[in-house]
A and B are shown apart, each in its own frame.
Chain A
Amino acid sequence: MTIKICPTAFDPWEEVQAYQGNLPGGSFGATTVFIGTMRDFNDGDDVTRMHLEHYPGMTEKQLEKILDKAKQQWQIIDALVIHRVGAILPNDPIVLIAVWSTHRGDAFDASRYVIEALKTTAPFWKKEVLTTAQERWVTKNTDGYNAG
């Protein structure tokens, strides 16, 4: 299980490939990859950039608790969570959650649990800069559906 808080841009595909390359081949049958990417719009406005703040130490601690709980609940072989902080531009990956397991059910369910728990308990905060140069803190996450 690996958690990385990343202050600069990262390539999630390279990270997954490198991490999987270090797992014992033949041990896993399912890999799920979730990537959250910055949009150039939010809440009806055009967004030009974003600043992501976190609580160093607590963020890692809460992410570890989330992964521990996922490991207790599902049969996970390994997991990789990477989350950006700092200055972020549209199209930059914000978060990567990759889960390896023997079978797809555990991988899908665990990765859904990890992203939803991250969104409600990991101390990260987004501040958006709009095309009008106005800055605003994001006050809540969506429910994860377009209609929501």
Chain B
Amino acid sequence: MTIKIRYFASLKERLGRSEDTVAFEAPLTVKDAWYRANASQALPVNVLASVNMEYVDLHSIVQDNDEVAFFPPVTGG
């Protein structure tokens, strides 16, 4: 099973890339997905996460082909 992980704004700049693909077998949480893709980078304290463009908490379980995203607090308007 695989998921796509996307990064936005300052987080994308800091990581130096906009997306990753992660393969997994056992059930994986959103937080696990971060560490699969960013083993040496702590998950930012105020990070927001989504799965398939809906906000989720970090303990949500991801499914095959999900699009996971991590991004900083939003500042539109």
Contacts and interface: CB of A to CB of B under 8 A. Distances in A.
A74 interface: no
Contacts of B73: 139-140
A28 interface: no
A59 B51 CA distance: 13
A119 B74 contact: yes
Interface in B42-58: 50, 53-55
A135 to B, nearest CB: 10
Interface residues of A, number: 28
A24 B54 CA distance: 34
A55 B53 CA distance: 9
B9 A53 contact: yes
A125 B77 contact: no
A36 interface: yes
Given A53-B8, A55-B69, A58-B69, A125 B53 contact: no
A120 B74 contact: yes
Contacts of A26: none
Interface of A: 36, 52-55, 57-58, 61-62, 83, 94-95, 115, 118-127, 137-141
18 contacts: A54-B76, A55-B8, A58-B69, A94-B76, A119-B74, A119-B77, A121-B74, A122-B77, A123-B8, A123-B71, A124-B76, A125-B10, A125-B75, A138-B75, A139-B10, A139-B73, A140-B75, A141-B75
Interface of B: 6, 8-10, 13, 50, 53-55, 69, 71-77
